[in-house]
Structure 1
Amino acid sequence: MRKILFFTILTLLVFSLIACDNGNTNLKANTISETKLTEREQAILTTTANQSFIFDFNVDDKYKNVDLWVEKYESGKLVGKVNDISTEIKNKGTIIFTTSNTIEESNQALFTISVHNDGSTAAGSNQETVPKDYLSIVSGSNPLDNASITDQMILASICYSSSEDEVSTLSSDFYRDADKHMDELKDYEVVYLLRSEFK
């Protein structure tokens, strides 16, 4: 029942985002931007998801598909994919990544990724066991604003740490060139990265 309610609210939010157009009407071709949410949209997301990340993209005929996947790292080492989808795209669209607890006070989370484009939505979700004994969780997103689409972009991150020291989000350098900054992931017990590839 909770999954049905979550997907219903997520679908309503997607249509709300599309209807409002979120001020991203100036997206250039083959670019992606972090979506600027209204206060109402933020309130809706807060009641349905623990973490949420939303991006708008605009592509020309050069790009026909987008692949999205969430990678899981433990102590800096890639252990696999949590979730992935692939869908056809055309013109403008929206990418949404959310997590929510499946049962209150449990360490089970539902990871959902979706793409709304050309009047349809492609979505995938997967239940994941997240760390139970973490002291802090930090999340961040690529500070995109009309950024040119590149190969295998990292769009968002969720990092779990059991360190008693202050923990910060991944650096903006990490999002710009992850290969050179992968050592940042060693500071966390578990990291989830949302990646995209436009083809």
Structure 2
Amino acid sequence: MTMTPTPITTTSTNGAGRAPVADVIDVATVQQLLHADPTVRLIDVRTAGEYESAHIPGSYNVPLDSLGEHAAEFAALDHPVVLLCQTGARSTQAHGALTSAGKQQLHMLEGGMAAWQAAGGDVVHGTSEKWALDRQVRFVAGSLSLVGILASIAVPKAKWLAGGVASGLVFSAVSNTCAMGNVLMKLPYNRSNCDIEGVLSEMRLAA
């Protein structure tokens, strides 16, 4: 049977593109939940490369695009779920998708992996470090802006490239979305063949 993908959308309960305040919890609260309730599941929606570089022990990697395609299956899990990404933007989108699919007992780690590491939380490090998607976005946006400015010396209209990038970043901040990040996620460098059925099976059976 073919599953109809659930669109990745953000919730607007607490302003544009934000999850309800009660669903956003800090590092200390997540650690308390994990200690008190072994049924809590951590879902890391970053790319496979980001996850391999550093991740929270016991977390499950389900990249954002894969989660959107299988939102109904993850929403059907009985376990409490805590979503995380690098800084919070992608987990907000994942929260919207799972909420729309009917998921209950759903939370987000405030500040994402960056906040977890800053707080000294346990981290599993991989053998090679890959750039976080947020860092890739900054690099590409900065490079395009620089090219536009330098090219405008010879071709004045090239300055609009830098202006377009700046406008995109402003819209990204206001809407709490990132079109450039969504494009970069689809590059081979960031993609992986996520075994959804395997992940779901592990999440159901884990103690």
Question: What TM-score, normalized by structure 1, do the two folds share?
Answer: 0.28
Richer in helix (by share): 2
Q: Which has the larger radius of gyration?
A: 2
Q: Which structure has greater strand proportion? A: 1
Q: TM-score, normalised by structure 2?
A: 0.28
